[in-house]
Amino acid sequence: MNEDLLRNLFKYFNKFMVMLWRLGLGKFLNIWPKVFGCFLVITHYGRKTRIKYLTPVNFSTVDGEIYCTSGFGEQSDWYKNLVRHPEIEVWLTEGWWRAQAVDVSDHPDRLDIMREVLIGSGFAAPMFGIHPLTMDNATLSEMTKEYRLIRINRIAEKTGNDGPGEYVWFWQITTAFLFFLLLTKKRRK
């Protein structure tokens, strides 16, 4: 599959993923990490416009630190935004955080950390021909040489109405509506 087509597919998939997080289903998305991957959502701001963007990415926690990768390298818009404005927010299954993104692509343990992040991507890495569980270091290094490795440093926990689960009220209204329909159907019998 060509890279431009994959990038476009991921743009639509990402919108769907963000909506699921907003509906309060972040934990559900992370239920089977070996297959679907481990996801978090990064809130970042446009490098020119300062418009707020939400981008789901795969991640891994290594020695207590959160890492993700820009698989499309330096050309990814979200990566460019992080470089310009490293103050971000991150949605994790255990909470919502103010954070700082740091490019650590020159980290001495880059390859080991990259392998863990790619394992944490579930099906995504194999879609690009990368098999982190079976590839030798030389092959993995060559295939990920353009990838950027990002560490996310949590600064402070956040609360409010515009974070993960902001649309969880949808489930309450839908449940009440379905319950109402069920009651009215029983009364008609």
Report residue 174: phi and psi, to 5°: -65, -45
What is the reported pLDDT for 1? 57
Q: Is the pLDDT of residue 39 over 80?
A: yes
- Residue whose tokens read 């559900």: 28
Residue span of the structural domain in which 48 resides: 3-188
Q: Which residues contact 164 (CB under 8 A, 6 or more apart)?
A: 21, 22, 24, 26, 41, 91, 96
Query: What pLDDT shows up at residue 78?
Result: 94
What's the rounded mean pLDDT across residues 168-173? 81
Q: Could you tell me the two tokens for 35?
A: 């297959």
Asked whether the whole model's pTM tops 0.75, one would answer: yes
What are the backbone dihedrals phi and psi of residue 70, each rounded to the nearest 5 degrees, phi first? -95, 100
Percent of the chain with pLDDT over 70: 96
CATH of the domain at 97: 2.30.110.10
Whole-angstrom Cα distance, residue 36 to residue 29? 8
Question: In the numeric block, which tokens belong to residue 129?
Answer: 């021909």
- So what's the pLDDT on residue 188? 67
What mean pLDDT do residues 68-85 have?
A: 92
Q: Give exposure, 51-76, as e/b (b: 16+ Cβ within 10 Å).
A: eeebbbbbbbebeeebbbbbbbeeeb
What is the number of domains present in the chain? 1
**With 80 as the cut, is the pLDDT of residue 10 above it?**
no
- pLDDT over 70 at 18, yes or no: yes
Residue 75 has pLDDT above 80, yes or no: yes
Task: Among 16-20, 110-114, 157-161, name the one with the lowest average pLDDT.
Answer: 157-161
